[in-house]
Amino acid sequence: MKGQPEDIQSLLQQGSSLLQLNIDDDALQKLEQYAGELLRWNKKINLIAKKQDAHHIVENHFLDSLILLPYLSRDGSSLIDVGSGAGFPGLACKAALPDLRLVLVEPRLKRVSFLRHIIRTLRLENVEVLADRLEDVDPQRLSCSHISSRAVAEIGGFIEMVAGITGENTEILCMKGPKWREELDRASAVLHRFGIILSQVNEFTLPFSGASRAVLSFRKDILQ
């Protein structure tokens, strides 16, 4: 669309400011370039829903991913993004945090091709794409400080997926909409079985639509 890149750059800057996210000019340029490639590729393969305007793309894909930046900004942070799809949230966070060590787990090969293209285009380092399902990956390749989920599964199902690779200090980050409390209730038996506890909930609203979002942080219960 004509004018789309300028709209995206402005919206990224405005939205990140409203969310109180510290994103420098280099990161904004990378994210703008990422969005442009996403739109171009999306004409040929189904990465995101068609006919989304700039506000929707920036808010529902990029800003909704970048809300994880405060969790990942500590020195030495590493992230495993399960079912990364078009790179959300992991690759968007990596574009804003060059020192983040990132592993993207994505079994769908067309999406894997897109992820690798973005990594090359943005010249990102310390990023690995595993073209496989999580359960088929050698756990020794999956040591990390954080594991993320964005629309992969309900909380209980995701905890079951990642419990085997969760270390004592690993933080599991589940990104949810307004019905997160119901999901949390349904996950109680799974959390108890694996000795996982909820350590923090951060609720926020997206800056343009006002839609409700929450990041739920889980850890292993070291007292068990």
Q: pLDDT confidence of 35, banded at 50, 70, 90?
A: very high
Q: Work out the mean pLDDT of the chain and round it to a whole number.
A: 92
Domains and CATH numbers, the chain: 67-220 (3.40.50.150)
pLDDT greater than 90 at residue 185? yes
Cβ-proximal residues to 54 (8 Å cutoff; 6+ apart), any chain: 1, 4, 7, 8, 11
Residue 145 identity: S
Residue 57 identity: I
Q: Which has the minimum average pLDDT: 21-35, 44-58, 118-132, 204-218?
A: 44-58
Nearest C-alpha neighbor of 62 from the set 102, 19, 99: 19
Both structure tokens of 205: 């609203």
Q: pLDDT confidence of 54, banded at 50, 70, 90?
A: confident
Average pLDDT over every residue of 112-137: 95
pLDDT greater than 80 at residue 91? yes
For the chain, give the percent of residues with pLDDT over 90. Answer: 81
Q: pLDDT confidence of 142, banded at 50, 70, 90?
A: confident
pLDDT greater than 80 at residue 150? yes
Instruction: Return the ∠ at Cα 135 (arms to 103 and 167), rounded to 5°.
Output: 60
- The model's pTM is 0.93
d(CA 104, CA 107): 10
CB 172 within 8 Å of CB 147: yes
For the chain, give the percent of residues with pLDDT over 70. Answer: 96
Average pLDDT over every residue of 108-114: 97
